[in-house]
Amino acid sequence: FSGLDYLHNGCKPPIMHRDLKPSNILLDDNMHAKIADFGLSRTFANDVDSHISTRPAGTFGYADPEFMRTGNTNIKNDVYSFGIVLFVLITGRQAIVREGDESIHILEWAIPIIEEGDIQNIVDPKLQGEFSINSAWKAIEIAMSCTSPNAVVRPDAHQILAELKECLSLDMVQRNCGNTRAIDELVSCATISDTTS
């Protein structure tokens, strides 16, 4: 995730990616994630709260609904998209979930399950229950905060990076106890580095 932090806080002027999704996060030989495809990216004049109006862009399911509705954009739109990427990694499902003949957004599918406290039915079944429950709940909390309908209350990139590291340490504690294996996708998210390194 440090790649997105770099775009938002390290670049002058800051850069908003505007199309963050799993296919735009590439893994190198060492499983370090790199952000790719800057075709829709835009720069801001200066501060993080700047808003610019632009034609809606991005991938359906990952794009911030507020941005798609109003065309007003800020870096918290990327935070929303990252939250959806986290949900995709946690659940093993696509951003648009097929339920019979209907398609629903992953948040519409996940939120009722989260509200029931049913961690086993939210985490990717391919993990076969082998994950740290505390780490999974922390990852879900991060994803939920990133996808808040109110962009103002979404965390910034520094906060998300710190919380992902906490999530990773919860998993490491569990692994050191010998009870589970790591959720590799979350480890990768915690180590995203900028594309120029």
Residue-level pLDDT at 107? 97
Domains belonging to the chain, first-starting first, are 2-190 (1.10.510.10)
Angstrom distance (rounded) from CA 85 to CA 79: 10
Angstrom distance (rounded) from CA 46 to CA 127: 43
Residue-level pLDDT at 72? 76
Residue-level pLDDT at 91? 96
Asked if residue 123 lies in contact with residue 103, where contact means CB atoms within 8 angstroms, the answer is no
Angstrom distance (rounded) from CA 155 to CA 139: 14
Tokens of 195: 């594309």
Angstrom distance (rounded) from CA 165 to CA 141: 13
pLDDT digits (tens, 9 = 90+) for 27-62: 888 888 888 887 677 777 655 445 555 555 678 899
Q: Does the active-site annotation cover 28?
A: no
Please report which confidence band the pLDDT of residue 123 belongs to, taking 50, 70 and 90 as the band edges.
very high
Number of Cα atoms under 13 Å in the Cβ half of residue 174: 18
The residues near 83 (Cβ < 8 Å, ≥ 6 apart) are 142, 143, 144, 145, 146, 147, 154
Residue 99, classed as helix, strand or coil, is strand
Residue-level pLDDT at 50? 52
Residue 68 has pLDDT above 60, yes or no: yes
**Vertex 177 angle, CA 191 and 136, to 5°:** 50
| Cis preceding linkage at 13, omega within 30 | yes
**Vertex 41 angle, CA 155 and 74, to 5°:** 35
Residue 53, classed as helix, strand or coil, is strand
Angstrom distance (rounded) from CA 19 to CA 63: 7
Tokens of 16: 């908003």
Residue-level pLDDT at 37? 80
Q: Which of 81, 97, 89 is nearest to 123 (CA)?
A: 89
Catalytic residue among 19, 64, 78, 171: 19
DSSP 10: I
Rg (CA), the chain: 16
- Across 107-111, 127-131, 183-187, 192-196, which has the greatest mean pLDDT? 107-111
pLDDT digits (tens, 9 = 90+) for 124-170: 999 998 888 989 999 999 999 999 999 999 999 889 988 988 888 87
